[in-house]
Amino acid sequence: MKGFIFDLDGVIVDTARFHFLAWKKTADELGFALTPELNEQLKGVSRVDSLKKILEWAGKEIEQDYFERLMTEKNEDYLTYVERMTAADILPGVEDFLRALKEQGHPVALGSASKNAPLILEKTGLISLFDTIVDGNSVKKAKPDPEVFLVAAEQLGVPTGECVVFEDSEAGVTAANNAGMVSIGLGSPENLGHADHVYSDFTEFTPEFIVNLQPKRK
């Protein structure tokens, strides 16, 4: 396998808890109590679709202006947490794994729904390890659509069948499968059972794992 594509939230850093705190404030304003269980369904989902889901759960319909204002306020609140991020926020084993890939000369891309992805990679000091960043600013279709990963493969100059995707969300694994790439789920086999391989985190990978990865049969 040649190209390696990483999701951001839940794979490289755990920003889900910051998204949760910020969306909880929005939900409170709408008179709705957002639970950690419901927040699971917002993982990997774009900002606009996340607010649509919260409004649906709250049983509310609002004007476009108010919708825009809630999105802006949520993002401003989320950014107060992101501003404080450092390399200490990188999930276990990720940095060593990324450095090993670079040393072996593999092209590496980010494939995330977040519009804040470049800022988070700057804050954690990882940005120079990526050859290209494909994020919520550069793609239109949300996961499970494969667009984000197909664009990443194209920008890396690697055929889709020779790419591996690391994902923590159900929709993200489906997107990788839809792209015809090898999908590696980070999390629990209960919700990521459709991935080609499932691991709890990057400390579980051995160097042989990458060498022995086989392209997906069509």
Where in 85-124 is the site for Mg ion (CB under 5 A)? none
**Residue of the chain from 1, 8, 164, 181 that contacts ligand B16 (CB under 6 A):** 8
7 assigned to active site: yes
Where in 107-136 is the site for ligand B16 (CB under 6 A)? 112-116, 136
Closer of 116 and 160 to ligand B16 (Cβ): 116
27: partner contacted, choices ligand B16, Mg ion, none (Cβ within 5-8 A by kind): none
Distance CA 110, CA 151 (A): 10
Rg over alpha carbons for the chain, rounded to the nearest Å, is 17
Distance CA 110, CA 82 (A): 18
Q: What's the min distance (Å) between Cβ of 25 and Mg ion?
A: 21
Q: What's the min distance (Å) between Cβ of 11 and Mg ion?
A: 6
3-class secondary structure for 49-109?
HHHHHHHHHHCCCCCHHHHHHHHHHHHHHHHHHHCCCCHHHECCCHHHHHHHHHHCCCCEE
Distance CA 123, CA 197 (A): 30
Residue 7 interacting with Mg ion (CB under 5 A): yes
How many residues at the interface with ligand B16, by CB under 6 A?
20
- Annotated catalytic sites, by residue? 7, 9
Contact positions vs Mg ion (CB under 5 A): 7, 9-10, 44, 168-169
